[in-house]
Amino acid sequence: MMEKGKNITHSSKDYPFYYLLEPSIIKLSNKFLRGKLKMSKKLVSSLLCVVMAASIFVGCGKQANQPNQGETPGTEGNTSTQGANLTLWSIATESDAFHSAYTRAIADFEEANAGVKVKHETFENQSYKTKIKSAVAANELPDIFFTWGGGFSRPFIDAGKVLPLDDYFAPYQGQISDAALSNVMYDGKLYGSTFTTPLSAIFYNKKLFDDNGIKVPTNWDEFIAACKTLKDNGITPIGISAKDTWVIAMTHDNLVLKSAGPEKVNAALTKSGQSYNDADFINASAKLRELIDMGAFPEGAAGLSNDEASAMFYNGTAAMYTTGSWMAGSIQTDPENPEDFDVYPFPAVGGNGKATDLMGGATDSFMVNAATPNKDIAAKAAFEITKGISKYAYLDGAGIAAWQVDYDDSPVPELTKKVAELASTATSFTIWYDTLMEAEDAGEYLTLLQELYMGNISPEDFAKGMDNQLSK
Amino acid sequence: MDSVRRNKLAIFLFILPALILFASIIILPIFMSGYYSLLKWDGITKGTFIGFSNYLELFTSKSAGFQRTFINAFLLAFLSVFIQLPISLGLALLLSKGVKGEGFFVSVFFVPVLISTVVIGQLWMKIYNPEYGIINVTLRAIGLSKWAKPWLGTQETALGAVFVPILWQYVGYHMLLMYAGIKSISNDYREAAKIDGATEWQIARHIIIPMIKPVLKISVIFAVTGSLKAFDLIYVLTNGGPAHASEVPSTLMVDMIFGRNRYGFGSSIAIFIIFLCFFFAIGIQKAFKTEVE
């Protein structure tokens, strides 16, 4: 059906049903016109319905074909930057902390490049993950799209749907560090640009710490002691959600990193000759169990969503929360007294880990469709817009700037600056494990983690389970 | 008109639009899923054909946890048929007898069906909240604080806690079906039975229930197939957790496809759900038929 609709012009003869319909219309209507006029009216109108239905199909067919025509690589768009219309997909919906930064960055870009229009379409995070995958499969990607670096975009690169950006990067050399771009490098080629370097740290309620005479812990023993004091004083030490599994993963990722060290973690999770079934990894999981068993987490955390759990932190029911730097932005708006909150790095747990080895790194990326007709300007836009978002989002306190800060940053909230300081002293960055690992392994990781949290499996079983999955 | 009905071409033409829609939206995707279920495929790159390995994994792999979801779905189906439907039937019988404010009550019981499931999920999440949820607050207020639990957060209670709203939500739906069925029965039967001295219970048991059997059949089919493909409320309330305790086949399918990029394996779950739904729909039809004879 759809196939036939491909070459439609506006002549009625081209309706796909036309030849089918013709004899029957004539035959039937002739029959009824000889006397049963009433009937024929009904019949003709019904037939009209059929024709209309058919035209709907034709319409569908035509529409579905349109993007294809637009996307054929066609003429080399080398000089035709003027009047280019670019489409950008992202997850910066209006409620997103980055939304206003996107808007301003795009406006700046349009101003600097007369004649170029950027159409920004936004989607909700979770559904976007599905949308982007199906768009890649159906060749319906926009010119520029938001995606996540690391394992998530690996299949897109392998399928050849993303434009390598090395040739376009020269003007920006030195304005953004190689470390920030490491998650969009695939097989030695640059495939994207990024705007923020999130990292995870422990946010804490300064007031609760002071009231209970607790100093900021610098090692694991102090950390445990702090939890104990808080617990004894009737305060939930750490807020956590085990229903939204990424939140326990934030804590567990840190424990593993600070116990095994970045090299070992990378080698194990990317299947490069390091078994997960190793004392350092088991030690990290055992530390998580230690925290659970001492009651450091709220009761029933397995049924709490991240929103519910972080609300407990904001209202002072829980004293600490391990999560990404984006919380620094939320703290400016959500709790009653934003000045009560502060941040410190996750302490080292022993083994090879250091406190300055941080979880995080830039994964929020823009990539360019390999089939876009406006390669030059789209690549330029990817860099320019991410650079703009980096600046505006940092000024808003929404994210840590991935690009060089060559502007006045005095309006940046204190807490965000503190996180940025942590980032600048980092000795290494390791991206969240569910991004670092391939999707299938990440899914197993999160599932096993929940089992570990519920006490269904021991830390040893956890390590064995991960080893099984990673050596598949 | 009769001559049109006899005209094969006309028949063909008239059913064609609906047939094409039906085939392209329902039949074709089923067959495509059937094909995908034989692949090891991440949804983007080219899949490799692996025969029935996905199905084998479905039934043998312990870590995939399919057996658990299977049992959960059947438990839900069982509860739907033996708890939800009797409640609906009871309400329908009561209301159709002509209670004061009949229309009002019918609307009230039907309201949960009209509200978006996500809203209901949020509502029950608040009811179950361990800190301020109405259940725990009430229990603490009447001195039963040791019974207060994080309902959605422990493995023992999570399954039960998600089943309650599911059963509750559709009581009104089945009630409305049955109520309409009962209302369509002529009052003469009831009056005749009354004259013969039948009690209300006897009228319900021997006259009304046998006469609305076709409606009951539909209700049972909806309840069973609805349970086998239950998804939305569970997704909102627990997302299958904690640790798979409230996982059902469709939440597992979503996790496999969108969480782990395992389109092939996810499709095999989809095919299995479709198969079960058809199997039970036909089985229940048959069961009701033999009973009528």
Q: B260 near A443, Cβ under 8 Å?
A: yes
Closest residue by Cα to residue A449 from A263, A137, A240? A240
Whether A423 maps to a domain, the answer reads: no
Whether A235 maps to a domain, the answer reads: yes
Mean per-residue pLDDT, A49-53: 52
Whether A6 maps to a domain, the answer reads: no
Tell me which chain A residues have a C-beta less than 8 angstroms from the C-beta of B241. 242-243, 245, 302, 450
Q: Are residues A234 and A189 in the same domain?
A: no
- Give residue A381's pLDDT: 92
pLDDT in tens, B60-93: 877 778 888 989 999 999 999 999 999 999 999 9
- Give residue A43's pLDDT: 52
- Give residue A322's pLDDT: 93
- Give residue A2's pLDDT: 39
Which residue of chain A is at minimal alpha-carbon distance from B254?
A: A130
Query: What gap in Å lies between CA B181 and CA B92, rounded to an integer?
Result: 9
Q: Are residues A125 and A262 in the same domain?
A: no
Mean per-residue pLDDT, A98-126: 90
Q: Give the CATH number, domain containing residue A271.
A: 3.40.190.10
DSSP string computed for chain B:
-HHHHH-HHHHHHHHHHHHHHHIIIIIHHHHHHHHHTTEE--SSS--EE-TTHHHHHHHH-TTTTHHHHHHHHHHHHHHIIIIIHHHHHHHHHHHHTT-TTHHHHHHHHHHHHHS-HHHHHHHHHHHH-TTT-HHHHHHHHTT-GGG---TTTSHHHHHHHHHHHHHHHHHHHHHHHHHHHHHTS-HHHHHHHHHTT--HHHHIIIIIHHHTHHHHHHHHHHHHHHHHT--HHHHHHTTT-STTTT--HHHHHHIIIIIT--HHHHHHHHHHHHHHHHHHHHHHHHHHHHHH-
Between the alpha carbon of residue A73 and those of residues A86, A155, A366, A369, B221, the distances in Å are 14, 21, 20, 10, 52
Q: pLDDT class for A203, splitting at 50, 70, 90?
A: very high
Place of tokens 């399918």: B253
User: What is the β-pairing status of strands A117-122 and A192-194?
Assistant: unpaired
Query: What gap in Å lies between CA A208 and CA A239, rounded to an integer?
Result: 14
Q: Which range, of A29-43, A349-363, B81-95, averages the lowest pLDDT?
A: A29-43
| H helix runs in A138-244, sequence order | 154-158, 178-181, 206-211, 220-232
Tell me which chain B residues have a C-beta less than 8 angstroms from the C-beta of A300. 130, 149-154
Q: Determine which of B45, B53, B244 to mutate to test the interface with A (most A C-beta atoms within 10 Å).
A: B45
Range of the structural domain that residue A37 is part of: 14-57
The separation between CA A424 and the C-alpha centre of its own chain, rounded to angstroms, equals 23
- Check pLDDT > 50 for residue A32: no
A202 CB-contact burial (10 Å; exposed 0-12 / middle 13-18 / buried 19+): buried
Q: Are residues A210 and A151 in the same domain?
A: no
- Give residue A440's pLDDT: 84
Q: Where are the extended beta strands (E) located within A50-111? A: 85-90
- Give residue B292's pLDDT: 59
Q: pLDDT class for A428, splitting at 50, 70, 90?
A: confident
Query: What gap in Å lies between CA A260 and CA B152, rounded to an integer?
Result: 34
The separation between CA B35 and the C-alpha centre of its own chain, rounded to angstroms, equals 26
- Check pLDDT > 50 for residue A285: yes
Q: Are residues A104 and A185 in the same domain?
A: yes
Q: pLDDT class for A64, splitting at 50, 70, 90?
A: very low
Whether A68 maps to a domain, the answer reads: no
Q: Is A158 within 8 Å of B239 when comparing Cβ atoms? A: no
Query: What gap in Å lies between CA B211 and CA B197, rounded to an integer?
Result: 19
pLDDT in tens, A205-218: 999 999 999 999 98
Shortest distance, CA B54 to any CA of chain A (angstroms): 14
Q: Is A243 within 8 Å of B239 when comparing Cβ atoms? A: yes
The separation between CA A310 and the C-alpha centre of its own chain, rounded to angstroms, equals 20
- Give residue A26's pLDDT: 43
The separation between CA B143 and the C-alpha centre of its own chain, rounded to angstroms, equals 37
Residues, chain B: 293
Percent above pLDDT 70 for chain A = 82
Q: pLDDT class for A129, splitting at 50, 70, 90?
A: confident
Q: pLDDT class for A83, splitting at 50, 70, 90?
A: low
Q: Is A21 within 8 Å of B13 when comparing Cβ atoms? A: yes
- Give residue B226's pLDDT: 92
How many Cα atoms sit within 13 Å of B186 on the Cβ side? 3
Q: Is B242 within 8 Å of A242 when comparing Cβ atoms? A: yes
- Give residue A47's pLDDT: 54
- Give residue A74's pLDDT: 38
Residues of chain B whose C-beta is under 8 A from some C-beta in A?
1, 3-4, 7, 9-10, 13-14, 16-17, 20, 24, 42-45, 63, 125, 128-131, 149-155, 158, 238-239, 241-244, 255-256, 258-262
Q: What is the mean pLDDT of chain A?
A: 81
Domains of chain B: 61-292 (1.10.3720.10)
Q: Which of A24, A442, A447 sits opposite B10 (nearest CB)?
A: A24
- Give residue A193's pLDDT: 93
- Check pLDDT > 80 for residue A56: no
Which stretch, A31-35, A50-54, B175-179, B288-292, has highest mean pLDDT? B175-179
Q: Are residues A159 and A108 in the same domain?
A: yes
Q: Which range, of A61-65, A364-368, A425-429, B79-83, averages the lowest pLDDT?
A: A61-65
Whether A73 maps to a domain, the answer reads: no
Whether A161 maps to a domain, the answer reads: yes
Closest residue by Cα to residue A177 from A428, A459, A444? A428
Q: Are residues A351 and A382 in the same domain?
A: no
- Give residue A6's pLDDT: 37
Whether A74 maps to a domain, the answer reads: no
Query: What gap in Å lies between CA B159 and CA B240, rounded to an integer?
Result: 9
Q: Are residues A32 and A101 in the same domain?
A: no
Q: B54 near B37, Cβ under 8 Å?
A: yes
Number of domains in chain A: 3
Q: Are residues A339 and A373 in the same domain?
A: no
- Give residue A408's pLDDT: 84
Q: Which of A20, A300, A447 sits opposite B154 (nearest CB)?
A: A300
Q: Are residues A378 and A394 in the same domain?
A: yes
Tell me which chain A residues have a C-beta less than 8 angstroms from the C-beta of B43. 133-134, 137
- Give residue B18's pLDDT: 93
Tell me which chain A residues have a C-beta less than 8 angstroms from the C-beta of B244. 447, 450-451
Q: Are residues A252 and A332 in the same domain?
A: yes
- Check pLDDT > 50 for residue B214: yes
Q: Are residues A24 and A52 in the same domain?
A: yes
More confident residue, A69 or B110: B110
Mean per-residue pLDDT, A300-326: 89
CA dihedral B129→B134→B136→B140, nearest 10 degrees, is 150
Q: Are residues A286 and A328 in the same domain?
A: yes
Q: A226 near A238, Cβ under 8 Å?
A: no
Whether A135 maps to a domain, the answer reads: yes
Q: pLDDT class for B1, splitting at 50, 70, 90?
A: low
- Give residue A30's pLDDT: 45
Q: What are phi and psi of A401, to 5 degrees?
A: -65, 130
- Check pLDDT > 80 for residue A50: no
Q: Determine which of B24, B40, B44, B151 to mutate to test the interface with A (most A C-beta atoms within 10 Å).
A: B44
Q: Which of B131, B153, B258 sits opposite A129 (nearest CB)?
A: B258
Q: A378 near A369, Cβ under 8 Å?
A: yes
Mean per-residue pLDDT, A207-232: 92
